[in-house]
A and B are shown apart, each in its own frame.
Chain A
């Protein structure tokens, strides 16, 4: 039945080459933790992706209750954390997942750096990886404001002050982030849009490019 459905689709769409391109390739021994335990260092990239998936899923559920305006933001977070079934778990996953994804990303970066995997011919994928790193830091910075508690508010205020002290582009950057003269309603709406639409879009695009290049170039050889 399943096979018949697949063949029906395959006849019309020719999907076999597509998934074979994605899935059908050999993985060398030196990155396989089943053969060498020390190869676990090669898992951090995959784990970063795994945590990012957790972040996307938990974030999608959070937006079901979260209200991005200064009157209700904190109240909605308080409500979803304390009144909704599993709300605390979902918010907990998103909150702690933010830190864990940074840790995994950092470990992955260290692995790539210290195994010299960024060298020819993978220079471009390293650059994409660094852009991914910056995008993740941006997600961390914008997401920190959204609960709209004192910690969020004052940390963002300091962050924007730091951005404003950059010469030449500083004040423009601060205005862009703040959406006005003070950290307030505009800032929250803006950070929400950045956190939920712009930066995840960039993240997904960059991750697609990252994986495409890994698939094209293969994983780097053993040291």
Chain B
């Protein structure tokens, strides 16, 4: 292989003792004369500017890290049946997708394969699906439209999943160990609560027995929401359990809606 095969019988030089041909032309930096305006050397000029952007991001990031302790729950207990599973936030939209009737049960293949497959497959093959020369998003409305719609769907699904998870968490029985305290236990509404059937399921101290805990319930519901639940029931809870007068009912609902104690975790530690 001392000669190349372009017929000119020219001597080929190799790099060191390898069989890699030595190239005569240098690896010259790309010529950006096709772009208007001022170009700049990558190293060190441009890299310095990128580093300055990175430093700003780093400061914000470290502020986030210092302000919020990374969460660590109780040690995993496979026998814990009451735990509400939740994936990390960037998987929530897929998780929520599987809750649609047309994407779960017998149609679960739509939720696990077809829709994610279309989404990720479409992304993967985007350069071949959209082969036009045009790069501006307004000049290629189809791909821009599909992208915006998918984006919107992902945002909405994530938000719905998160909202639902928060609500489910709020309606779980919490027991006495919870940090939330009863607000205004001296209020006569507490007596009304104790004298009604509420207490049988929600507990003497609002801690939740068969029914969910009502502590901190004001975070999730307004007076009107609570009145509606008392009147119409919710989930396991039957309608019309409240035996007192309308006025007492409203008093109780208002008191419950005030059950939103500030978090006292910091001071207790």
Contact = CB atoms under 8 A, between A and B. Distances in A.
A26 B41 contact: yes
A137 B86 CA distance: 16
What DSSP secondary structure best describes chain A's contact surface?
Answer: helix
Instruction: Give the interface size class of chain B.
Output: 35 or more
A89 B37 CA distance: 43
A196 B239 CA distance: 54
Interface string B66-90: 1011111111111010011111111
A11 B112 CA distance: 58
Contacts of A154: 76, 83-85
Given A130-B124, A148-B75, A221-B35, A155 B43 contact: no
Interface stretch (B50-58, B175-183, B214-222): B50-58
Given A27-B41, A96-B64, A166 B113 contact: yes
B235 interface: no
A198 interface: no
Interface in A41-65: 43, 46-47, 50-51, 54
B134 interface: yes
B120 to A, nearest CB: 7
A81 interface: yes
A150 B80 contact: yes
A208 interface: no
Interface of B: 26-27, 29-32, 34-43, 45-47, 49-50, 53-54, 57-58, 61-62, 64-66, 68-78, 80, 83-91, 94-95, 98, 108-109, 112-113, 120, 123-124, 126-128, 130-137, 140, 144, 147, 151
17 contacts: A23-B47, A24-B43, A26-B40, A27-B39, A27-B45, A28-B35, A32-B49, A47-B54, A51-B61, A81-B72, A102-B90, A116-B135, A151-B71, A158-B85, A158-B87, A159-B87, A167-B113
